């Protein structure tokens, strides 16, 4: 059976990608809120925020906006997984001789594909709004790698939510704190402008190191130790969420 | 029973916290026969089917399906069975044909497209094949569901309340499908709360009540449990179902999306001739 893992995952990923293609609004709505936030921050609040750096505000806040995009996009994964379990299709898959991990991986890969499209949309709008970077191909690859890791980590959290939710609303509610997290970070304003405890939280939560890394990569500045802190957070969260999701899944199907 | 048991259930127990759903269930199902598990809502039918189809682990007892132990060899069991659950397990976003192709691919079969087309034709869904399953009526959805279960010709099929929620014509279509399957040698275990369904289809009927099998036998064996029938003269009234089927039966099955085939009409006639007592709607 294990020999079919890749094939089965491919077939099931094709299925959920088709779901997305038939309701492309999920990709659009994922991108709309971050774009609206970007417009709001750049054209309304941005003038009042002193970033302490010479770069334009759209350059400054784009990394945080990209993380918000992904954080709101993964909610759809929890939603789709929950719907699969509600209908009988999940049990049908379970009673068939297919590799068990394929069912979850298909949702995760679909989430990755959908979120990358949403992120590309947001970057497109940012470019129109004046976002500029001289980042090299390698730096772009590094940014893409970090965003992929971020999506995977958050998607596996979404899988936990989708598997354990009792209602549709519950399945997507987990994403609100994730969407909110970038606001209490260096994403929109420098952390040293915040009062003590808030600044402490902002400096020690994962989003700040990820935002700083992406910002440095776009600005062609040295990433310093931020990239290692960011990678440690991302790999750590990914590993823990993956283990939890699979433990819940195994309990669910046994 | 013959020695050739496709399904063998021995002492299966299952509790959910303090609720003892199954309290020691035993029965055998002969290969190629239709076995009906009859019981009211909450009797434990679905729990038992879920255990036999490897979705749930029993607390005690053993069960073998197609010679494989459900707990120890779930992979082999899954290769031998197909489950049609209580709620039509179709992907509503995909078309009927895509649903069939999906299952054929997951069963690693060659020519999934050809398999899909063949089943669409067999289940009078060809014209609806390229429509989303969410646009299907209840009967069509159930037919698609059963068609998906037949992909790969599994030797054993579990049907959990296959006709619950269907209209009379759709019920008869499902019955005909089940009879055809058994005719081809497939072992069918079906659960139902409708007495006439068990009477119509099953070679053997087991009554599951409060977590155990309280009776298991052929229809005539079960009938012998009661005192011999008295002869009474009763004016034969057509049941409402007879009237309904007579009125709408010969025209068209509205939910086949236009494709009607003669095979299913004959099924109707056969059923009406046998004049089964009218069924009271359970709900």
Rank A47-51, A57-61, B90-94 by mean pLDDT and report only the highest.
B90-94
Map residue B19 onto helix, strand or coil: strand
CB A34, CB A72: distance < 8 Å: yes
Tokens of B248: 């709408």
Chain B positions in Cβ-Cβ contact with residue A88 (cut-off 8 Å): 85-90, 145
Instruction: Give me the mean pLDDT over the B278-282 stretch.
Output: 43
CB B141, CB B133: distance < 8 Å: yes
Distances from the Cα of A14 to the Cα of A17, A100, A118, B18, B101, angstroms: 5, 17, 18, 42, 12
β-pairing, B5-16 vs B156-160, is: unpaired
CA distance B100 to B121: 12
Chain A positions in Cβ-Cβ contact with residue B65 (cut-off 8 Å): none
Tell me, yes or no, if B94 comes closer than 8 A to chain A by beta carbon: yes
**Of A166-170, A244-248, B68-72, B185-189, minimum mean pLDDT range:** A166-170
Verify whether the Cβ–Cβ distance B81 to A95 is below 8 Å. Answer: yes
What integer pLDDT is reported at residue B161 of this predicted model? 86
Among residues 224-253 of chain A, which lie with CB inside 8 Å of chain B? Answer: 253
A86: left (phi over 0), alpha (psi -120 to 50) or beta: alpha
Angle separating helix axes A206-218 and A137-164, nearest 10 degrees: 150
CA distance B36 to B160: 10
CB B85, CB A92: distance < 8 Å: yes
How is domain B5-273 classified at the architecture level of CATH? 3-Layer(aba) Sandwich (3.40)
> Sign of the C-alpha dihedral, residues A144, A146, A148, A154?
negative
A127-176 pLDDT, tens digit per residue, is 888 888 888 888 899 999 999 999 999 999 999 998 888 888 888 888 88
CA distance A156 to A151: 9
In the block, residue with structure tokens 């990755």: A112
Label residue B254 by pLDDT band (50, 70, 90).
very low
A170 exposed, middle or buried (CB, 10 Å; 0-12, 13-18, 19+)? middle
Verify whether the Cβ–Cβ distance B78 to A95 is below 8 Å. Answer: yes
A57-116 pLDDT, tens digit per residue, is 888 888 999 999 999 888 888 988 898 888 778 888 888 888 878 889 999 999 999 999
Tokens of A71: 């954080």
β-pairing, B68-69 vs B5-16, is: unpaired
CA dihedral A14, A15, A16, A18 (to 10 degrees): 80
B260-273 pLDDT, tens digit per residue, is 444 343 334 444 44
Verify whether the Cβ–Cβ distance B148 to A98 is below 8 Å. Answer: no
What integer pLDDT is reported at residue A2 of this predicted model? 52
- Bridge partners of B38, per DSSP, are B192, B207
Tell me, yes or no, if B75 comes closer than 8 A to chain A by beta carbon: yes
Tokens of B22: 């199954």
CB A2, CB B77: distance < 8 Å: no
What integer pLDDT is reported at residue A178 of this predicted model? 85
CA distance B137 to B131: 12
B208-243 pLDDT, tens digit per residue, is 888 888 888 888 888 777 777 677 777 778 888 888
């Amino acid at each position: 059976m294990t020999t079919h893992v890749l094939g089965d995952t491919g077939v099931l990923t094709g299925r959920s990608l088709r779901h997305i293609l038939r309701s492309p609004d999920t990709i659009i709505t994922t991108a709309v809120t971050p774009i609206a936030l970007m417009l709001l921050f750049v054209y309304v609040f941005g003038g009042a925020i002193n970033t302490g750096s010479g770069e334009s505000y759209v350059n400054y806040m784009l990394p945080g906006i990209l993380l918000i995009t992904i954080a709101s996009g993964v909610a759809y994964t929890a939603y789709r997984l929950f719907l699969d379990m509600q209908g009988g299709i999940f049990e049908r898959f379970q009673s068939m001789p297919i590799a068990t991990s394929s069912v979850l991986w298909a949702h995760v890969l679909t989430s990755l594909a959908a979120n990358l499209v949403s992120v590309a949309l947001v970057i497109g709008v940012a470019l129109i709004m004046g976002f500029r970077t001289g980042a090299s191909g390698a730096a772009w690859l590094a940014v893409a790698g970090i965003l992929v890791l971020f999506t995977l980590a958050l998607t596996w959290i979404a899988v936990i939510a989708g598997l354990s939710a009792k209602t549709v609303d519950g399945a997507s509610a987990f994403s609100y704190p994730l969407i909110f997290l970038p606001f209490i970070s260096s994403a929109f304003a420098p952390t040293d402008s915040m009062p003590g405890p808030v600044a402490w939280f902002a400096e020690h939560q994962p989003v700040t190191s990820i935002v700083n890394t992406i910002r440095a990569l776009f600005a062609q500045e040295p990433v310093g130790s931020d990239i290692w802190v960011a990678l440690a957070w991302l790999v750590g969260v990914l590993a823990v969420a993956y283990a939890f999701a699979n433990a819940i899944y195994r309990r669910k199907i046994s | 029973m013959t020695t050739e048991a496709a399904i063998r259930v021995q002492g299966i127990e299952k509790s959910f916290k303090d609720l003892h759903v199954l309290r020691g269930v035993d029965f055998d199902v002969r290969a190629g026969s239709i076995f009906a598990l009859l019981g009211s809502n909450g009797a434990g039918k679905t729990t038992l089917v879920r255990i036999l189809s490897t979705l749930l682990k029993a607390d005690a007892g053993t069960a073998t399906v197609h010679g494989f132990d459900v707990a120890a060899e779930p992979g082999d069991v899954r290769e031998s069975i197909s489950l049609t659950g209580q709620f039509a397990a179709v992907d509503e976003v995909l078309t009927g044909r895509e649903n069939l192709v999906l299952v054929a691919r997951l069963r690693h079969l060659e020519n999934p497209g050809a398999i899909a087309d063949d089943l669409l034709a067999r289940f009078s869904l060809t014209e609806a094949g390229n429509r989303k399953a969410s646009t299907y009526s209840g009967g069509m959805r159930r037919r698609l569901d059963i068609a998906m279960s037949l992909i790969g010709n599994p030797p054993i099929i579990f049907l959990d309340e296959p006709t619950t929620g269907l209209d009379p014509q759709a019920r008869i279509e499902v019955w005909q499908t089940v009879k055809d399957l058994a005719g081809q040698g497939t072992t069918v275990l079906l659960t139902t709360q409708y007495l006439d369904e068990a009477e119509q289809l099953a070679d053997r009927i087991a009554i599951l009540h409060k977590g155990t099998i309280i009776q298991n036998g052929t229809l005539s064996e079960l009938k012998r449990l009661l005192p011999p029938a008295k002869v009474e003269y009763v004016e034969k009234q057509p049941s409402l179902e007879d009237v309904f089927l007579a009125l709408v039966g010969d025209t068209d099955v509205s939910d086949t999306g236009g494709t009607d085939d003669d095979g299913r009409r004959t099924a109707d006639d056969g059923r009406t001739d046998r004049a089964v007592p009218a069924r009271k709607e359970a709900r």
